[in-house]
């Protein structure tokens, strides 16, 4: 019995039997080692990939290809017994490409089909969107993290075998940073468009990302199997907006497999090979990194020049630190050691880094004894939204601290600093790329680390200038102070350039929405051609592209949901960062019986302060429990109260025991109660239950 088969049986039967099955002296060692851990956790959702030093080369080569599908329900990867020799793939036989598209246009499904077509994963593995590995990605049906995979493809035209690196990217606007990073490792893209939805806002944004990076763009119209598919119309849109020749467009259905046979040949024909120089000293671009409990920090890299070999010492251009390369390989589709990576190839490196903070995304890695010119790298991620994250139970601060530390190791685009709030205790101020990113972060904290958190209302980074000329960037409204000596004289707020694509009948309501949100129109254009037969005009739904400059705050708070509800889900929306603009901003405090509640403070435009204040007071009134004294809920700008609600006191029936009796005695009791309440109101501090915070902050 082979060692792989032995392992397979071990998993099925439980660890105790492994000692009897294994013919290898290494295997019992590994199993004894793994017995101390929870076996299902060890193998959950992954093919087994075991450190060679534990198992020896025979076992590890088997284990790499062995799937835990039977034990954990993940798809099977074909067994590969041969070590892959990457030296057979010089740059002219390599193609690096990405799939980019609007949300849900079928990127991950197309990636699945290409993986099957090239035999990288087994056909009919029963698990759609193989590359969406995170639980949150599977539950929400979205891609959050870009995933790289290496495939091998025999091209019948020139009878040569090519190495193809495919990067599946997220579609949502919050994760466009992932897309731009992925594009740095590519020479071309498949621009996917849904045959019935046509060009959408993220199609436009992603096209320009690829266009500006000077990549070859292969247009693909997907989902042609749908009854509402209209590929000719989508071709017209592609021509009108991007000047794409309709004859270059590939028509596919990632669901039925129709047209897929054209995709990889077109990739090979149209996408240039990477341009690096194998003769020059090693230079690698660090694309991404994550922390694996058993392997340590795994870096995804693109080798630009030279060769990387297991065992060499590499150094980081950013920090100057050097590391010995313990393992190197490709993602095929899981980590597959190859001992070398050559010019133009994309793969992984494990080099004894202790934390992902040492693996700076965009850094250049090179041989430690050679000097090289660093690669351009990436712009650092820009945090658009900030929010406080507090443990739901104040005593869980340390556990939350640990969970956040671990999660940020695998999501370096979140910024974290400690803060404290009078109402919520000790917590963190986190910066996110957008609201969906924030939501995904919370969900991962809960699902992967069991942390229960309360998050404050998201805010955007404002800049304030004081009378003494000093400027501060405010990420936490509660931290903004304005005293006579520190009077605020000017403020700026971030803006975005938003692109909305919508059927024409919704344009009016969308323009109203944008002007309510303080937007300024930049462009209004039609993206469909007019039908030549006038009769058809009645039935023809023109699509319009609107461009608006909008304050980021207005976009962050519920804009997307409103846009979707106004247009019955037909409009799509994307934005990119624009400049800071001068604005008339004020800090809105929320007071309970005169005491400000710091976690509920916000920064708003002066014209909206009263309305926002009123809404907050009303919400709080509904959420708070009544107490034995009256509670005044006020919204105030400085000392000026702009909205007020009162929560009446619970009335204890002091007359209950006073059967019959004299009326003057009853009056006396009521007077006494009134006096007591007055005293309570003066001294009483209002208790806000954590759930109230939760519902208030969630709904605001």
State the residues that interact with ligand GTP by CB under 6 A: 101, 103-109, 129, 141-143, 170-171, 222-223, 225-226, 253-255
Closest approach of ligand GTP to the CB of residue 445, in Å: 21
Q: Which is nearer to ligand GTP, 226 or 443 (CB)?
A: 226
Closest approach of ligand GTP to the CB of residue 142, in Å: 3
Of 459, 470, 456, nearest to 421 (Cα)?
456
Q: Which is nearer to ligand GTP, 226 or 368 (CB)?
A: 226
Residues in the chain: 700
3-state secondary structure of 307: coil
Q: Is 334 exposed, middle or buried (0-12, 13-18, 19+ CB in 10 A)?
A: middle
101 is in an annotated binding site: yes
* DSSP character string of 118-141: TTSS-TT-S-SSTT--SHHHHHHT
Q: Which is nearer to ligand GTP, 26 or 223 (CB)?
A: 223
105 is in an annotated binding site: yes
Strands (E) across 552-692 are located at 572-582, 585-592, 595-596, 602-605, 631-637, 640-647
Q: Which is nearer to ligand GTP, 436 or 600 (CB)?
A: 436
Q: Which is nearer to ligand GTP, 254 or 591 (CB)?
A: 254
106 is in an annotated binding site: yes
The tokens for 22 are 């294994």
Separation of alpha carbons 538 and 622, rounded Å: 48
**CA Rg, the chain, in Å?**
30
Q: Which is nearer to ligand GTP, 170 or 458 (CB)?
A: 170
Residue nearest to ligand GTP (CB): 171
172 is in an annotated binding site: yes
Q: Is 538 exposed, middle or buried (0-12, 13-18, 19+ CB in 10 A)?
A: exposed
Closest approach of ligand GTP to the CB of residue 499, in Å: 17
Separation of alpha carbons 108 and 102, rounded Å: 12
109 is in an annotated binding site: no
223 is in an annotated binding site: yes
549 is in an annotated binding site: no
Closest approach of ligand GTP to the CB of residue 128, in Å: 6
Of 296, 302, 306, nearest to 327 (Cα)?
296
The tokens for 5 are 């088969």
Closest approach of ligand GTP to the CB of residue 129, in Å: 5
Q: Which is nearer to ligand GTP, 61 or 109 (CB)?
A: 109
Closest approach of ligand GTP to the CB of residue 192, in Å: 7
Q: Which is nearer to ligand GTP, 50 or 100 (CB)?
A: 100
Closest approach of ligand GTP to the CB of residue 542, in Å: 25
340 is in an annotated binding site: no
Cβ distance 337 to 313 under 8 Å?
no
243 is in an annotated binding site: no
Closest approach of ligand GTP to the CB of residue 388, in Å: 28
3-state secondary structure 8-74: HHHHHHCHHHHHHHCCCCHHHHHHHHHHCCCHHHHHCCCCCCCCHHHHHHHHHHHHHHCCCHHHHCC
Angle between helices 52-65 and 3-13 (to 10 degrees): 90
Q: Is the preceding omega at residue 492 within 30 degrees of 0, hence cis?
A: no
Closest approach of ligand GTP to the CB of residue 111, in Å: 8
What does the buried/exposed string (b/e) look like for 608-641 if buried means 16 or more CB atoms within 10 Å of the residue's CB?
A: bbeebbeebbebbeebbeebebbbbbbbbbeeeb
Closest approach of ligand GTP to the CB of residue 231, in Å: 12
208 HSE (CA, 13 A, CB side): 11
Strands (E) across 195-345 are located at 216-222, 250-251, 283-292, 296-305, 308-309, 313-316, 322-324, 327-331, 335-337, 340-341
Task: Give, as one character, the DSSP assignment of residue 378.
Answer: -
The phi and psi torsions of 315 (rounded to 5 degrees) equal: -130, 155
Which residues partner with 335 through β-bridges? 331
Closest approach of ligand GTP to the CB of residue 132, in Å: 7
Q: Which is nearer to ligand GTP, 95 or 107 (CB)?
A: 107
What does the buried/exposed string (b/e) look like for 436-460 if buried means 16 or more CB atoms within 10 Å of the residue's CB?
A: bbbbbbbbbbeeeeebebbbbbbbb
Q: Which is nearer to ligand GTP, 40 or 141 (CB)?
A: 141
Separation of alpha carbons 281 and 290, rounded Å: 26
Closest approach of ligand GTP to the CB of residue 171, in Å: 3
103 is in an annotated binding site: yes
Q: Which is nearer to ligand GTP, 170 or 188 (CB)?
A: 170
Closest approach of ligand GTP to the CB of residue 138, in Å: 10
Q: Which is nearer to ligand GTP, 304 or 440 (CB)?
A: 440
Q: Which is nearer to ligand GTP, 178 or 358 (CB)?
A: 178
104 is in an annotated binding site: yes
Q: Would you list which residues are annotated within the binding site?
A: 101-108, 168-172, 222-225
Q: Would you list which residues are annotated within the binding site for GTP?
A: 101-108, 168-172, 222-225
């Amino acid at each position: 019995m082979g060692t792989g088969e032995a392992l397979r049986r071990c998993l099925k039967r439980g660890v105790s039997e492994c000692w009897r099955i294994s013919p290898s002296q290494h295997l019992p060692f590994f199993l004894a080692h793994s017995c101390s851990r929870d076996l299902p956790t060890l193998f959950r959702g992954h093919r087994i990939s075991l450190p060679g030093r534990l198992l020896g080369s025979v076992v590890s080569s088997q284990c790499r290809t062995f799937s835990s599908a039977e034990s954990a329900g993940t798809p099977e990867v074909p067994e590969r017994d041969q070590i892959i020799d990457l030296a057979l793939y010089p740059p002219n036989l390599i193609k690096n490409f990405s799939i980019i598209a609007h949300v849900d246009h079928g990127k991950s499904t197309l990636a699945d089909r290409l993986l099957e077509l090239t035999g990288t994963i087994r056909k009919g593995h029963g698990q759609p969107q193989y590359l969406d590995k995170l639980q949150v990605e599977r539950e929400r049906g979205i891609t959050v993290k870009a995933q790289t995979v290496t495939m091998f493809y025999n091209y019948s035209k020139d009878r040569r075998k090519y190495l193809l690196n495919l990067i599946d990217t997220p579609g949502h606007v919050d994760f466009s940073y992932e897309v731009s990073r992925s594009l740095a490792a590519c020479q071309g893209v498949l621009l996917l468009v849904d045959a019935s939805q046509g060009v959408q806002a993220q199609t436009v944004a992603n096209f320009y990302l690829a266009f500006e990076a000077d990549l070859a763009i292969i247009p693909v119209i997907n989902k042609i199997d749908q009854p509402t598919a209209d590929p000719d119309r989508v071709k017209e849109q592609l021509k009108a907006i991007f000047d794409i020749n309709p004859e270059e467009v590939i028509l596919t259905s990632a669901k039925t497999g129709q047209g897929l046979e054209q995709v990889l040949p077109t990739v090979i024909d149209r996408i240039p090979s990477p341009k690096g120089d194998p003769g020059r000293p090693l230079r690698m671009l660090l694309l991404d990194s994550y922390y694996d409990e058993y392997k340590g920090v795994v870096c995804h890299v693109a080798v630009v020049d030279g060769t990387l070999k297991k065992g060499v010492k590499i150094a980081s251009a950013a920090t100057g630190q050097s590391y010995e390369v313990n393992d190197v390989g490709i993602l095929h589709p899981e980590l597959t050691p190859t001992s070398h990576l050559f010019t133009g190839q994309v793969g992984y490196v494990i080099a004894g880094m202790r934390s992902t903070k040492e693996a700076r995304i965009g850094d250049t890695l090179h041989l430690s004894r050679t000097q090289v010119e660093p690669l351009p790298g990436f712009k650092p991620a820009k945090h658009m939204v900030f929010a406080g994250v507090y443990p739901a139970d104040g005593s869980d601060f340390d556990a939350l601290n640990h969970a956040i530390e671990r999660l940020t190791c695998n999501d370096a685009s979140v910024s974290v600093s400690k803060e404290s709030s009078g109402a919520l205790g000790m917590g963190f101020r986190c910066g996110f790329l957008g609201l969906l990113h924030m939501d995904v972060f919370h969900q991962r904290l809960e699902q992967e680390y069991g942390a229960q958190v309360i998050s404050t209302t998201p805010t955007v980074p404002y800049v304030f200038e004081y009378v003494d000329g000093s400027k501060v960037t405010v990420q936490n409204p509660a931290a903004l102070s304005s005293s006579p000596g520190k009077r605020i004289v000017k403020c700026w707020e971030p803006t975005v350039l938003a692109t909305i694509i919508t059927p024409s009948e919704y344009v009016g309501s969308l323009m109203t929405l944008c002007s309510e949100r303080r937007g300024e129109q930049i462009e209004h254009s039609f993206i469909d051609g007019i039908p030549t037969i006038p009769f058809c005009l009645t039935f023809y739904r023109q699509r319009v592209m609107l461009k608006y400059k909008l304050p980021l705050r207005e976009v962050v708070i519920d804009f997307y949901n409103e846009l979707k509800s106004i247009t019955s889900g037909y409009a799509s929306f994307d934005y990119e960062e624009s400049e800071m603009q001068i604005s008339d901003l004020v800090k809105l405090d929320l007071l309970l019986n005169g005491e400000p509640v710091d976690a509920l403070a916000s920064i708003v435009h002066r014209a909206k302060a009263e309305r926002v204040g009123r809404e907050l007071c009303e919400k709080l009134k509904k959420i708070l429990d009544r107490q034995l004294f009256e509670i005044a809920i006020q919204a105030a700008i400085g000392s000026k109260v702009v909205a007020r609600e009162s929560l009446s006191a619970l009335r204890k029936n002091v007359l209950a025991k006073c059967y019959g009796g004299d009326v003057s005695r009853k009056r006396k009791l009521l007077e006494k109660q009134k006096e007591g309440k007055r005293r309570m109101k003066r001294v009483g501090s209002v208790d806000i239950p954590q759930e109230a915070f939760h519902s208030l902050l969630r709904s605001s």
